[in-house]
Structure 1
Amino acid sequence: MSQHPVRAFLAGTGDDGAGRRLTDILAFDDAHIEGVHDFVQWCFPLHEASLAVPGAPVLSRAEAEAIRNDPAALSGVRAALGRMTRFYAETDGWLRAHDHNHLRITRILSALSDLLGPEAAAEFHAFVTARNAGAGAPINAASLDYWASALRRA
């Protein structure tokens, strides 16, 4: 039986909806991370459909369980997390009142909670909230509330 497309993508053996491998996305420079809007849904899949990217994968409960039990797919999630953490550490454009990256961060937190566990999500949450605080807390309260809610849903 073949792997579900998102699981194969995360495991490094499949392509996303645009024909890219995870290694291609991990190699994106910061401008590509900022400007390309259809990769985050593959790196951090959720159980609900994306409003921003129609046709993005929707994770079933069974597929989430399969990813949680697949060391290669989990390694892919961790690699994607590492790349996004580096992006948020090295760039400041998202540190403003409203930015599309705030939605990405909510997605990342939700996917981490589901696939890697609440500790991984809490660690990423601590990182992005510390970056916000260090920048003078420019991010709007609603985005911060969504981030906190993503942790509570875990």
Structure 2
Amino acid sequence: MAHSTTGPLHAFLAGTGRDGRGRLASDVLALSDERLEEVHDYIQWLFPLPTRSAAQPGAPVLTQPEIDAIRTDEAAQRTLARATDRMLQFYRDTPWWLTGYDHNHLRITRIIHSLRILTEPDEARCFHEAILALNKAAGSPVNARSRAFWSDAAGA
């Protein structure tokens, strides 16, 4: 059953709305790893939060009605699952973030936190565990503060 969307983030995740640059979620998910690294205004749309983004203050903020709608909308849940898979593939395939400090560490915190809010609890935990395994396999280069933020976001 199709739901009417409750706001711009819900519409984007449901596949019917466009982000601030006119992209559909499917357009963003089709970006190359290089573009995902270079472009900085998609993560707030794919993995929204109920707090304003310091990096992209113009991005919409998740509201409670949108949270409730996204949690029960099958199309939005499918987009979140595809986005999670795509970002995990990005982190598996790119070594850029496996360093002491990197902007991707903030993205990872956002992804985990957003998944915890919008999907089943296991989704955030699984993504968190996969990221920790990638970090460990690389010799644990990520700083302890970022790892603590990830754990907090996962509710661990």
Shared fold (TM-score, shorter chain, > 0.5): yes
Asked whether the equivalents of residues 112 and 154 of structure 2 are also in contact (C-alpha less than 8 Å), the reply is: yes
The unaligned stretches of length 5 or more in structure 2 are none
Q: How far is the alpha carbon of 1:22 from its aligned partner?
A: 0.6
1:40-79 equivalences under 5 Å are 40-79=43-82
| Aligned equivalent of 2:34 | 31
- The one of 110, 113, 116 aligned to 2:116: 113
| Aligned equivalent of 1:87 | 90
Structure-1-length-normalised TM-score: 0.96
| Aligned equivalent of 1:139 | 142
1:13 matched to 2:9: no
Whole-angstrom CA distance in 2 between matches of 1:47 and 1:116? 14
Letter in 1 for 2:138: A
| Aligned equivalent of 1:102 | 105
Aligned length: 153
Whole-angstrom CA distance in 2 between matches of 1:138 and 1:150? 20
Deviations 1:57-77, CA, capped at 9 Å, x for gaps = 111112101100111111111
Q: CA RMSD in A?
A: 1.1
Q: How far is the alpha carbon of 1:117 from its aligned partner?
A: 2.2
| Aligned equivalent of 2:155 | 152
Whole-angstrom CA distance in 2 between matches of 1:51 and 1:24? 24
Q: How far is the alpha carbon of 1:123 from its aligned partner?
A: 0.3
Secondary structure in structure 1 of the residue aligned to 2:59? coil
The sequence identity of aligned pairs, in percent, is: 48
